[in-house]
Amino acid sequence: MPNSIKAVLFDLGGTLASTADVPEIFARILRAHGIEVSRHEISEVHRQNQEEFSEELMAERGPDFWVRWNLRILDGIGVEKDAEFLARKIDELWFDYADLSVYSDVMETLVQLKARKIKIGIVTNGFERDYKKVLQTLGLTGYFDVVVGVDTCNRVKPDKEMFLYAVDKLQVQPAEAIFIGDSVKRDYEGARKAGLKSLLIDREGKAPANVETVRSLTDVLEYV
């Protein structure tokens, strides 16, 4: 496989970028607006949202998807006053309260890939306004040859069209690209079905036995 790979694509959240968990971020923003709610209460409603909200609606509704999501959580934890205002503030302030950081294995990996003339990209289930903010905050803006988000082609992972759009923009064949992400369904399976080489980033060693994993992003350097 060495020398046959011309591009490496990454997921963003959980792969390149680390944040506090969702209930904690939600609780922090509510606390800043004078509302005390336990992380446990938020966790329960967040779990229900994940079961009931189809991610495919992200492409249909655009960024307003997250306002609707926040409203559902606020309703579930019994916050009624100024709910619409709060839902929009949570969306607006999310990354300001998220402890956004870059994983320790990211910079070396990107620098080495650049040095080897490997094309680099991102395929994320984030909207343009959000991934641009994340990349700018983390100082990663200049590293990527392509970034594909939900509103790039009106799709969400694991839809293979997102991955195919990215490799087409990079002018490489799917078999000439590796994709690394932290979700078996959205990332690993989505990229595999699009014909890319799939790797699951498994920093804690908890992945299912039937997927090919790397413990550090730097391990991808062995493939190029």
- What is the reported pLDDT for 63? 87
- What is the reported pLDDT for 209? 85
Residues 106 and 66: their CA atoms lie apart, in Å, by 27
Residues 6+ positions from 98 with CB-CB distance below 8 Å: 19, 20, 25
Residues 181 and 186: their CA atoms lie apart, in Å, by 8
First to last CA, the chain: 7
- What is the reported pLDDT for 1? 45
Amino acid at 143: Y
pLDDT tens string for the chain (224 positions)? Answer: 446 999 999 999 999 999 999 999 999 999 999 999 988 999 999 988 888 877 788 888 888 999 999 999 999 999 999 999 999 999 999 999 999 999 999 999 999 999 999 999 999 999 999 999 999 999 999 999 999 999 999 999 999 999 999 999 999 999 999 999 999 999 999 999 999 999 999 999 888 888 999 999 999 999 99
Burial tier of 43 (Cβ tally within 10 Å: 0-12, 13-18, 19+): middle
| Spatial contact of 195 and 38, defined as CB atoms under 8 Å apart | no
Residues 197 and 222: their CA atoms lie apart, in Å, by 13
Which residue, chain included where needed, has tokens 């002018």? 171
- 120 by DSSP, 3-state: which? strand
Could you give all domains of the chain from N- to C-terminal order, each with its CATH number? 7-19+100-223 (3.40.50.1000), 22-96 (1.10.150)
- What is the reported pLDDT for 3? 61
pTM for this prediction: 0.93
Number of H helices, E strands in the chain: 10, 8
CA 136 to chain centre: 15
- What is the reported pLDDT for 168? 97
